[in-house]
Amino acid sequence: MAEALLEHMIQKINEITQSLDGTIAQIGQMRASIDQMSQNFSEQNVALTENIRLIVEVLKQFRVQSSKSIQELAEDFNKKVKDLWDKKSIEAITDEEKKAIETLKQVSKAVSDNLYYTQLLAIIQSIREETNRLIGAKPI
């Protein structure tokens, strides 16, 4: 009777050990999956950061080029105004034309500002879309 009880206990211990081995294997698989997901997330995060850096750099270059173009236009405009002033023909400009010139200066500044803000909004929208895509991505 004691031998049968001992055999029964040994059998139960072996069953428990096998069950624990299965659980440990499942935990190991879960750990590997979590490590893979973490690696994928890190890679996507690095890629996103690099893409954002590149977008910002392109926008900086675009802004510099736009500013150069606007600066060239402003310099040309100022040169023409100076030439008119030197020739005293600026005195012939009416008040209405002076207002139009001032309006053109304001419009030029507003266009420059709007370009900059549009670029910033585009960056923010791209970041928002990429973030939503990453958050909505289902794990493999």
**Residue spans of alpha helices (H) in the chain:** 2-86, 95-136
Q: What is the pLDDT of residues 98-131, one digit of tens each?
A: 788 888 888 888 888 888 888 888 888 888 888 8
Residue 84 has, within 13 A of its CA and on its CB side, a CA count of: 12
How confident is the model at residue 73, as a pLDDT? 76
How confident is the model at residue 90, as a pLDDT? 56
- Give the C-alpha separation, 67 to 122, whole Å: 19
pLDDT bin (cut points 50, 70, 90) of residue 139 is low
How confident is the model at residue 111, as a pLDDT? 81
Spans of all domains in the chain: 2-136
Q: What is the pLDDT of residues 14-53, one digit of tens each?
A: 999 998 888 899 999 999 989 899 898 888 888 888 888 8
